[in-house]
Structure 1
Amino acid sequence: MMKLLNWFKKEKNFLFASIILGTLITGIILQYSKAYSETIQTGIADNVIRFHVIANSDSEEDQELKKEVRDAILNEMSPILSESSSIEVSRELLIENMDKMKAIAEDVVAQWGKNYSVKVTLGPAVFPTKQYGDIVLPTGEYEALRVSIGKGEGKNWWCVMFPPLCFVDVTHGVVPEETKKDLRGVLSEEEYKIVTQARYEEDVPVKVKLKIVEWWQERKYDKKHQLVKKEL
């Protein structure tokens, strides 16, 4: 015991210095990772518009109605948005056609014999990390066109309206390379790697970076209870 106490007395300055240095290094790493998370998520969010359809409830009928509303709006908007080459133009086209999209959704609801109200909005919304085909969007706030049916308490569906990922077949779990080119054209190289991290299965740094972005963003928004939990 005495040997231990003597050793501690001799080495205490070194131990205290090590603790202080370790704390400083940890703090620097945390601050850097937090700044990195904000930069990546903001960079991605500034260049995409998501499409979000929320069902009245989780009943099988309401979920099927949600899908039909989704398909009807996408069929209408696909040729309109296909001419857009920028997020600004896409945003303007969506705003110009919001009444039309609301009317389309209301027609589908009426055809199903329901009296649900329909609300269509374009603005910020917070989403958890979600995969669409082999594209991954990390947790965070994104601009989204949201169509809420009735009470809007059911599982929801989402995709990306700009770049136009909504209009591709991802039933096989892969977004076509041609469509990825559109995404690559609006994101930085680093952001594109994070979003398409499924393509880099052996690239540990990319996966770690995605986890860093997810961790900080979830920490940021979980406190506010803003994450869309019931996503489908």
Structure 2
Amino acid sequence: MIEDYEIFRNEQPQMKRSPWIELVMALVLIQTLLFLLPVVSGAADAVPADAIQIRVIANSNTKEDQQVKSLVYQEIQPLLQKAADTFQTTAQLEQELTQISTEISQKAGIITDQSIHISLAKALIPAKTDGTYFYAQDFHKALIITIGSGKGDNWWCALFPKVCYQEEEEVVEEPVKFWTWDWIKSKF
């Protein structure tokens, strides 16, 4: 005969987790990991770390001063392009930009009576995006051309116009749809 065994029962009810709660917790975990991981973009390849950027700062934000800024850039752009095409190393380019800074001042002085201050130094370049790349705000070596008091908004669109002025496309706005809400409505 088989001996009787004592059966132990767990008197506490067992709680089961809902699969929906587990799904939500997994999604929150994945979203947190994606948020915490650094975004790898090709922007590092788009603009080399040792590249010299051009900053043109207007006297103020008035339309006239912004127009002067644009005219100054158009006037000095061939000088900058010639210097960039001539030299292969950054050190050579820095020397050339230092040498042609007086010529840049003279050409800019033809356009405006305001003082022109030119310096080659590390400058804070604001964050920009061009649709495919994100350029983080950082300090870069830059040729800074300040017109007058330099109180106008800074831009570096002269070298990268796609970054600041993206091509406008006609956008047809569709009503926002939430598939979960549509699914719930279809059930009732």
Pairwise same-fold verdict (TM > 0.5): yes
Q: 1:109 to 1:75 in 2, by over 3 A?
A: closer
Q: Report if aligned partners of 1:120, 1:146 keep a CA contact under 8 Å in 2.
A: yes
**Which residue, 31, 35, 38 being the options, matches 2:39?**
35
Q: Report if aligned partners of 1:102, 1:118 keep a CA contact under 8 Å in 2.
A: no
What pairs up with 1:1-232 in 2 under 5 angstroms?
A: 10-12=15-17, 17-32=22-37, 34-37=38-41, 40-46=42-48, 48-84=51-87, 89=89, 91-112=90-111, 114-129=113-128, 138-140=134-136, 141=138, 143=140, 144-155=142-153, 156=155, 158-160=157-159
**Bigger share in helix:** 1
For this pair of structures, how many residues does the alignment match? 148
Alpha-carbon separation, structure 2, partners of 1:44 and 1:113: 34
Counterpart AA for 2:106: D
Alpha-carbon separation, structure 2, partners of 1:103 and 1:129: 31
Please identify the structure whose Cα radius of gyration is greater: 2
Q: Secondary structure at the match of 1:93?
A: helix
Q: Output the TM-score relative to the length of structure 1.
A: 0.48
Alpha-carbon separation, structure 1, partners of 2:47 and 2:139: 5
Where does the alignment leave 5 or more consecutive residues of structure 2 unmatched? Answer: 1-13, 170-188
- 1:183-220 residue CA offsets vs partner (Å, 9 max, x unmatched): xxxxxxxxxxxx9xx8xx9xxxxxxxxxxxxxxxxxxx
RMSD: 3.7
- 1:49-101 residue CA offsets vs partner (Å, 9 max, x unmatched): 4322111113344233323321332222322322345xxx1x22331133344
Alpha-carbon separation, structure 2, partners of 1:84 and 1:68: 25
Q: 1:130 to 1:92 in 2, by over 3 A?
A: same
Identity between Structure 1 and Structure 2 (%): 17
Q: 1:62 to 1:137 in 2, by over 3 A?
A: farther
